[in-house]
């Protein structure tokens, strides 16, 4: 007799179903992730006339992506590692990639939900309406941009073993990203900081989302920002995979 093992695809589907159920049962936490950029979007209605709809919308989507990558993804990863959930899965015949890809797929789903909610709120409350290409481009680029924060979250969990410390550090980085990113981009912290923010993961992501929602505005600067974002993603992914440990011992 020979041993048969389930296909990687079927294992992935089982894991994804469990991770989606977990996401649904944690819907209050997920709601908070969507709520913060939504509140910013509504409260920035007056800035739409000054800086334009795409500027406001792209800032809010960037804040949402930051929250998903830094607070949602990294914290659940750190908690599950600390509880030994990953170790239990690793001693089963589930290939390692299915465990992590399932987690990432759930976060990509959250990115789509957040972006769609912000599109709807932007349209209903701030009057930011886009072309169908703008909506499609915005959704697609949100997923590309979400990867940079997911990989940054992976780096943090790779560097820090303690689950509480991960929680504190990600909140701190999230806060710094929002404050320095939004106000620095507006020029409220000086020209040097504006330039620094422009080429930071916050600025490049915000820049390409802003261009993607109005495809006709895509220019050389947007392409450079996209390349920078991909560069950040590659670096963070390499470091995150290299430093990540499946257990805290």
Partner 1 sequence: MNNDNHTTPVLQVDSLNVYYGSFQAVRNVSFEVRPGEIFGLLGPNGAGKTSTLSAVEGLLKPQSGNIHVAGYSIREQPLYARANMGVQLQATSFQPELTITEIIQLYAGIYGVDLSKEQVLSILANIKLQDSANKKYGQLSGGQQQRISLVIATIHDPHLVLLDEPTTGLDPQSRRQLWVRIEAMRDKGHGILLTTHSMEEAESVCDRIAIIDHGRIIATDTPQSIIDSNRERPEVIQASRKGKITLEDVFIGLTGTEVRS
What residue ranges bind partner 1 (CB under 8 A)?
Answer: 1-6, 10-11, 14-15, 17-18, 21-22, 25-26, 80, 83-85, 87-95, 246-247
Considering the complex, state which of residue 183 and residue 243 has its C-beta at the smaller distance from partner 1: 243
CB-nearer residue toward partner 1: 1 or 192: 1
For partner 1, the closer of residues 17 and 124 by Cβ is 17
Pick the closer one to partner 1 by CB: 85 or 241.
85
Q: Minimum distance between the CB of residue 247 and partner 1, rounded to whole angstroms?
A: 8
In whole angstroms, how close is the CB of 76 to partner 1 at the nearest point? 10
Show contacts of 129-138: CB within 8 Å, 24+ apart: 129/53, 130/53, 130/213, 130/214, 131/214, 131/215, 133/215, 134/212, 134/213, 134/214, 134/215, 135/213, 137/212, 137/213, 137/215, 138/57, 138/61, 138/209, 138/212, 138/213
CB of residue 90 vs partner 1: minimum separation in angstroms?
Answer: 6
CA atoms within 13 A on the CB side of 228: 19
Q: What is the dihedral of CA 206, 209, 211, 215, to 10 degrees?
A: 180
**Between vectors from CA 220 to CA 218 and to CA 226, what angle results, nearest 5°?**
75
Q: How far is the CB of 64 from partner 1 (least distance, A)?
A: 22
Going by the DSSP 8-state scheme, the letter that residue 217 receives in this structure is: G
Alpha-carbon distance of 249 to 229, in angstroms, equals: 33
Q: How far is the CB of 11 from partner 1 (least distance, A)?
A: 5
For partner 1, the closer of residues 13 and 116 by Cβ is: 13
Distance CA 148, CA 102 (A): 17
Cβ 178 to partner 1 shortest distance, Å: 28
Q: Token digits for 240? A: 């995150």
DSSP state of 247: S
Cβ proximity of 174 and 64 under 8 Å: no
Q: How many CA atoms within 13 Å lie on the side-chain side of 62?
A: 31
In the bound complex, what is the minimum distance in angstroms from residue 32's beta carbon to partner 1?
16
């Amino acid at each position: 007799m020979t041993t048969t093992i389930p296909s990687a695809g079927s294992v992935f589907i089982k894991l994804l179903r469990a991770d989606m159920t977990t996401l649904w049962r944690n819907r209050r936490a997920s709601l908070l992730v969507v709520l913060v950029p939504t509140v910013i979007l509504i409260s920035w209605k007056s800035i739409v006339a000054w800086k334009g709809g795409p500027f406001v919308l792209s800032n809010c989507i960037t804040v949402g992506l930051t929250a998903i990558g830094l607070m949602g993804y990294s914290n659940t990863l750190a908690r599950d590692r600390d509880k030994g959930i990953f170790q239990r899965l690793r001693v089963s015949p589930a290939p390692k990639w299915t465990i992590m890809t399932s987690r990432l797929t759930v976060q990509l789903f959250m990115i789509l939900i957040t972006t769609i909610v912000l599109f709807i709120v932007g349209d209903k409350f701030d009057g930011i309406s886009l072309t169908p290409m703008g909506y499609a481009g915005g959704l697609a680029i949100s997923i590309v941009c979400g990867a940079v924060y997911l990989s940054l979250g992976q780096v943090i969990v790779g560097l820090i073993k303690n689950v509480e410390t991960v929680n504190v550090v990600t909140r701190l980085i999230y806060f710094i990203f929002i404050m320095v990113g939004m106000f620095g981009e507006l020029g409220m912290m000086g020209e040097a900081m504006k330039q620094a923010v422009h080429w930071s993961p916050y600025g490049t992501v915000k820049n390409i989302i802003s261009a993607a929602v109005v495809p006709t505005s895509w220019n050389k600067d947007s392409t450079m920002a996209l390349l920078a974002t991909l560069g950040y993603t590659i670096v963070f992914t390499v470091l995150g995979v290299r430093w990540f440990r499946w257990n805290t011992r």
